[in-house]
């Protein structure tokens, strides 16, 4: 049985020729295994930081893209409003001018109906009509078309057996419009079906039925 000698502590084996400083330096230096274990932890932290930065950049890019799209939509709406206002202003200005010329055009129309549109007066009248047409003036109103209170003004009223609805039977003054804007309704004489009278179409249908029924064999 071996007895331990008191007063002596166990010390690590020290190579011959190595000083105590070398031993302490070797103990303080991390081993290769410790360095390899610490390296992946640093890479993970760096990757997480880069991912967070990338997410921030994507969020900022999405916000800027949305702002650009909204700005583009607002600009397109602004352009449409400007164009619509420009057309409206042009139509209003043209309507104001052409309204003053309508009596002259009425005189030209009456002269044409009476065969008085001849010579130099005819050339001037045709030039005037060409100019107002270039400004967008359009004439409307024809005999036989259904009466529409939004574009027709009835000055005379009568009944007729040969109409099935309120119809313009005479154009007293033609109407004029610029685009969709009516600057003067057509002034017309209208005729309505006779009260209690059978419409012409119904009469013809009834006559056809009676004729076909009369030829049936009993």
Q: Is 152 helix (H, G, I), strand (E, B) or coil?
A: strand
What is the predicted pLDDT for the residue at 44? 80
Please give the model's pTM, rounded to 2 decimal places: 0.55
Could you say which residues of the chain have pLDDT below 50? 1-2, 5, 8, 23, 28, 200-202, 214-218
| Pairing outcome for strands 167-173 and 152-160 | unpaired
Give the tens place of pLDDT for each residue, 135-156. Answer: 889 999 999 999 999 999 999 9
| 189, HSE (Cβ side, Cα atoms, 13 Å) | 8
Q: Which residue has the tokens 């939004």?
A: 150
Distance CA 175, CA 187 (A): 7
pLDDT in tens, 24-62: 555 545 555 555 555 566 678 888 888 888 888 898 888
Strand extents, DSSP E, 68-180: 137-140, 152-160, 167-173, 175-178
């Amino acid at each position: 049985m071996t007895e331990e000698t008191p007063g002596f502590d166990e010390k690590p084996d020290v190579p011959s020729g190595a000083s105590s400083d070398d031993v302490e330096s070797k103990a303080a230096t991390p081993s290769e295994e410790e360095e390899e274990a610490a390296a992946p932890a640093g890479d993970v932290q760096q990757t997480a930081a880069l991912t967070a930065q990338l997410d921030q950049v994507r969020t900022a890019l999405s916000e800027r893209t949305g702002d650009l799209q909204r700005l583009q939509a607002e600009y397109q709406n602004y352009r449409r409003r400007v164009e619509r206002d420009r057309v409206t202003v042009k139509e209003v200005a043209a309507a104001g001018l052409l309204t003053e010329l309508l009596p002259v055009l009425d005189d030209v129309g009456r002269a044409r109906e009476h065969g008085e549109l001849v010579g130099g007066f005819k050339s001037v009248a045709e030039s005037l009509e060409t100019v107002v047409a270039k400004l967008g003036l359009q004439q409307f109103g024809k005999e036989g078309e259904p009466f529409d209170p939004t574009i027709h003004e009835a000055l005379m009223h009568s009944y007729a057996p040969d109409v099935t609805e309120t119809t313009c039977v005479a154009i007293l003054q033609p109407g004029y419009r610029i685009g969709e804007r009516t600057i003067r309704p057509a002034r017309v004489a209208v005729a309505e079906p006779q009260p209690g009278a059978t419409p012409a179409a119904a009469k013809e249908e009834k006559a056809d039925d009676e004729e076909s029924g009369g030829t049936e064999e009993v």
